[in-house]
Structure 1
Amino acid sequence: MNYNLPNVLHEHVAVVAPTTYFGTMKSMRATSFINTDLPTIESDPFVASLTGPTSLATVPSSCSTTITPACLRALYNTSDYVPAATDKNILGVAGYLDEFANRADLQTFFQRFRTDAVNSSFTTMLVNDGGDDQSDPGVEANLDIQYTTGISFPTVNIYYSTGGSPPFNPDEGTDTNTNEPYLDWLNFILNQTTIPQTFTTSYGDDEQTVPVDYATTVCNLFAQLGARGSSIMFSSGDSGVGSDCVSNDGTNTRKFIPGFPASCPFVTAVGGTIHVNPEVAVSFSGGGFSDYFAQPSYQSSAVSTFLSGLGSTNAGLFNRTGRAYPDVAAQGQGFQVVIGGRVASVGGTSASSPTFAAVISLLNDFRLSQGNSSLGFLNPLIYSTGATGFNDITSGSNPGCNTNGFTAGTGWDPVTGLGTPDFLKLQSLIG
């Protein structure tokens, strides 16, 4: 769609929103999908073994195909941490596009996979005429809230159900407006007196479908949110380096299509992994380089090292000077999720983002319990002194656009970023 303003107003108006949406009603742009070919389990036999210190070596092989909170807590070393600042620390989950988190399904999930959390729940906040239809459980919403609470319990969790639709430029892969109204959500959050110290969002769009003025406004507001002490995670996408690989600027240029808001330099983008002992990159993990936003200084050294090793591979298909993502990664397939009372296996970097955010929420809990401030905007920390707190993922790739995409290797890469979190190492680094 297009919008027009009188010339006299141009220098005074940064972005026009909201706009009217005439697209489909349920075209999801959440970064998740049901794995119909992967197994499901009705309970977690691994939970009983979490009675003492755990390490990567003790994570059972079953976690390679069926992920549960116990798997993730062991894999990322949070099993023995008991939250101590639950009167202050909050974890926020952003939801869009009529995706509703179901409370009955959460209780069933707890009964099967986190029994000590039974009878606890979350708060829903409605933003911009968002809904909360408990008869219509959403795959994405349930995945998000079940795994943020499943890892962070008893931390307070808030689910934000946001309605509306933003400005939109169609491309070959997205011909109707299924983009998310991030600006409406941000305006609401930034107007609150108290806000969560950690946020996760499992939605994303082709960067080129987001008008550059809207993307810039939204990205700058994420910077404000980070400056207020919040750490902001976004899933990096589920199409590798791109599935619809044609520019929408009229030239039909063949190229890798970056995702937004993962491409915003003021959020922490989370890619995906699979398997344990060791973890490897999952093939759909979104990653690449922004066409809108310049490469920030905090990552210039890490990205330069990667590009030097890359040489001429994929030359001309991406913007070498753009903001590079993802920043980090976490498991992204085989998540056991209760939907309408039944367990399904769900995958996508929308599983990775709430997982990583839950680990960060526990780190924020630790900081607050020690009388310190929350971590806030994470990226300058994780690309410097925090880099040693991650498990480097050195194999796997994210093919797309009829190419092999990028390959995970030593150090940062645009498949798994700096790697997956080790809570205990990060805890010692931020203490």
Structure 2
Amino acid sequence: MQGILANMQSLLYLVVLSLGLLAAAESPISPYSLHEKRTHIPAGWSLQRRHEPTSALPLRFALTQSNIDNIEKLLMDVSHPESSNYGNHWTAGQVIQAFAPSEETISAVRNWILENGFEEERVKVTSNKGWIEVDATTEEAERLLQTEYKVYSHASGKNHVACDAYHLPSHIQPHVDFVTPSVHFDARLSRRSDEPARSVGKPGYGSAPKTTGQVDAVEISSTDVSTCDEYITPACLRALYGLDYTPVATAKNSFGIVEYTPEAYLQTDINLFAMNFSEGLYGVSPYMVSIDGGYAQTEYQGFDYNGESDLDLQYGMTLVTPAQQVTLYQVGDMVEGASFNNFLDALDGSYCTFEGGDDYTQDAMYPDTEPGGYMGPEACGTATPTYVISTSYSYNEADLTPFYTARQCAEYAKLGLMGVTILYSSGDYGVAGNDDVCLNPNGTQTADGTMFNPTFPGTCPYITSVGATQVNPNSTVYEPESACEQVIYSGGGFSNYFAMPSYQKEAVDYYLANYYPDYPATMWNSTGMSRGFPDISANGANYVVAVNGAFELVYGTSCSTPVNGAIFTMINDARLAAGKSTIGFINPTIYSTDFSGLFNDITMGDNPGCGTNGFNATPGWDPVTGLGTPNFPKLVAKWLSLP
């Protein structure tokens, strides 16, 4: 544990490096420095031997991109309410042009490789200029990177070549994001032949909504809000957050919900929900955008396969009303599945190659040559981003390397520049990670770990992380909510990878100054310099959802995320109707002084995990419920007052 915490500042440093926030290159002749290091061998893997010196080991250098060092400044310029450029969002073309690789970076890395004895024909710059590929042997790679390559094996029979750490010259480090193969150990494992996608490491593994079983919907009123402490319906949510609004700019507006195959909705469930709780929704389907072979599969059914999608769509579509089309991004085929990066590739064609492109030890590769796989080309720039995108899936931050998360986080910033609001659920296990695992001193994650385990992308400073609240037992929707403590606990805490963004500093500093957690520094990132999450919350307990022809009670930040997405979509409607821009990346706005008090502050409850009570909900921002839950009338009025 202490070893992990001792490395926190270096992890933050690595992410800053990955985002290009270092100074320009130093002298052409400079000493080698550590570039990446892995602290442990992942569970299930074992060291077998040194890799053979003469074996082929093709190296790939992911090159850093132009202007990444300015990305927060550029994003704040169009997102902060006090900026003269507020709402002047970029086009996709402007984003691509601004972050294209520089010739200086390409030349610096290529020349260094050539100077180390590699012939020109063995050094190739890819057509997109994101990678430099080198045909090397193991011996040559070890000399170039000052490392040792080893072969690891998994119980499944899969082998993996990796090193514990590698080094680069100081003048080369600012030009290289990461190198493969190297310390990245997110190798995808083969599934059993009778098992659909969603294997270890895929979004949604361990982060799905929870259920306490079926309920009789006949006893639940579609309009009465007197039983919202037992059953949450759309009427309860409209009462809680003041969402009394009829959209008028539906042709200009959009709301996107992301699902990962094999999770899929059933139209019969939407129809059942409509007959009981959502007048006008019967027979209405989301507009589905298939990404990498994604489709609304029906081969596998049950809560595990339909609960997430049914929940997201039934509530998302109802709250924006059937008049507003909802876009369903269905990602990945039934064989390979997909990652967040596969989805982002489809939104932004430049991301397919950005900083070296996808990591195929972690991200799905298409065409999928496995039997029954999607044989079409990888989706790159094939989908248009909606103005609000809600995703109820997450990884544990520790599942991924700092460089992998930094590359993806930068893409969320680019979407923010284009006026897109990105929402992610914060997790359902309090200060623990998905599946209720916590960190150990050696970096592994186990049920008996003692260090708080934040989720990702919730810790990325360029998305809005959503926690969960509840209507307290025997209370009404007109009384204050508390942090969710039924079945699930609102995910929250402090990142071990990402530095605190400037927009959050005042709020987090206030929390740490007045409500400093009573835990030793060995248990959480107590530096006061890291990103805190969540940013906001909404109700996440006792949702009545139609799943497989019956109604179930459902819990999770999977509930609260699409609810906030629907509310922000309606705020966009009001602004678009007034001839204004979309709200885009909302964090600089909602943390600003002008928006103080516009969320319902949550001051009760905590988020247990890792053998503790977790953090406490307090006045102001806290790492349990963020700034609080939305007050639609106040928020829409304030956003309409902005340019």
**Which interval holds the TM-score relative to the shorter structure?**
0.7 to 0.9
Task: Tell whether the 8 Å contact from 1:30 to 1:350 is kept in structure 2 after alignment.
Answer: no
Aligned ranges 1:359-370 → 2 under 5 Å? 359-370=567-578
Q: What is aligned with 2:481?
A: 279
Task: Tell whether the 8 Å contact from 1:101 to 1:159 is kept in structure 2 after alignment.
Answer: no
Cα distance in 1 for residues equivalent to 2:414 and 2:346: 13
Cα gap change, 1:108 to 1:193, in 2 (>3 Å): closer
Cα distance in 2 for residues equivalent to 1:290 and 1:86: 37
Deviation at 1:408, TM superposition (A): 0.2
SS of the residue aligned with 2:347? Answer: helix
Deviation at 1:415, TM superposition (A): 0.4
Deviation at 1:299, TM superposition (A): 0.5
Cα distance in 2 for residues equivalent to 1:255 and 1:34: 24
Task: Tell whether the 8 Å contact from 1:334 to 1:345 is kept in structure 2 after alignment.
Answer: yes
Deviation at 1:35, TM superposition (A): 2.9
SS of the residue aligned with 2:315? Answer: helix
Q: What is aligned with 1:9?
A: 61
Which of 402, 413, 416 is 1:226 aligned to? 416
Deviation at 1:43, TM superposition (A): 6.8
Cα distance in 2 for residues equivalent to 1:219 and 1:5: 29
Highest Rg: 1 or 2? Answer: 2
SS of the residue aligned with 2:280? Answer: helix
Deviation at 1:311, TM superposition (A): 3.0
Cα distance in 1 for residues equivalent to 2:563 and 2:242: 12
Task: Tell whether the 8 Å contact from 1:258 to 1:288 is kept in structure 2 after alignment.
Answer: yes
Length, aligned pairs only: 406
Deviation at 1:382, TM superposition (A): 0.6
Deviation at 1:157, TM superposition (A): 0.5
Cα distance in 1 for residues equivalent to 2:205 and 2:608: 20
SS of the residue aligned with 1:430? Answer: helix
1:278 is matched by which residue type in structure 2? Answer: P
Q: What is aligned with 2:600?
A: 391
Cα gap change, 1:164 to 1:115, in 2 (>3 Å): closer
Aligned ranges 1:8-157 → 2 under 5 Å? 9=61, 11=63, 13=131, 14=177, 20-23=188-191, 25=196, 26=198, 28-29=204-205, 31-36=207-212, 39-42=215-218, 44-47=220-223, 60-79=225-244, 81-134=245-298, 136=301, 138-153=306-321, 154-157=323-326
Deviation at 1:8, TM superposition (A): 6.6
TM-score, scaled to structure 2: 0.59
SS of the residue aligned with 2:327? Answer: strand
Deviation at 1:195, TM superposition (A): 2.4
Aligned ranges 1:281-360 → 2 under 5 Å? 281-283=483-485, 284-311=489-516, 313-316=518-521, 317-319=523-525, 320-360=528-568
State, as a whole percentage, how many aligned pairs show the same letter. Answer: 36
Deviation at 1:97, TM superposition (A): 4.1
CA deviations on 1:308-328 (whole Å, 9 max, x unpaired) are 123351231222321100000
Q: What is aligned with 1:56?
A: none
Cα distance in 1 for residues equivalent to 2:530 and 2:507: 13
Task: Tell whether the 8 Å contact from 1:271 to 1:352 is kept in structure 2 after alignment.
Answer: yes
Task: Tell whether the 8 Å contact from 1:85 to 1:366 is kept in structure 2 after alignment.
Answer: yes
Cα gap change, 1:150 to 1:248, in 2 (>3 Å): farther
Task: Tell whether the 8 Å contact from 1:208 to 1:247 is kept in structure 2 after alignment.
Answer: no
Task: Tell whether the 8 Å contact from 2:347 to 2:382 is kept in structure 1 after alignment.
Answer: yes
Task: Tell whether the 8 Å contact from 1:32 to 1:346 is kept in structure 2 after alignment.
Answer: no
Cα gap change, 1:74 to 1:250, in 2 (>3 Å): closer
SS of the residue aligned with 1:158? Answer: strand
Deviation at 1:231, TM superposition (A): 0.6
Residue range with higher mean Cα deviation, 397-406 or 8-17: 8-17
SS of the residue aligned with 1:115? Answer: coil
Deviation at 1:249, TM superposition (A): 4.7
Task: Tell whether the 8 Å contact from 1:331 to 1:351 is kept in structure 2 after alignment.
Answer: yes
5+ residue gaps in structure 1? 50-59, 166-176
Cα distance in 1 for residues equivalent to 2:219 and 2:346: 38
Deviation at 1:98, TM superposition (A): 1.1
Cα distance in 1 for residues equivalent to 2:311 and 2:239: 19
CA deviations on 1:40-99 (whole Å, 9 max, x unpaired) are 52475242x6xxxxxxxxxx34111111111111211112x1101110111100111411
5+ residue gaps in structure 2? 1-41, 46-55, 64-129, 132-176, 349-380, 472-476
2:468 is matched by which residue type in structure 1? Answer: G
Cα gap change, 1:388 to 1:129, in 2 (>3 Å): same
2:502 is matched by which residue type in structure 1? Answer: S
Larger RCO: 1 or 2 (CA < 8 Å, sep 6+) = 1
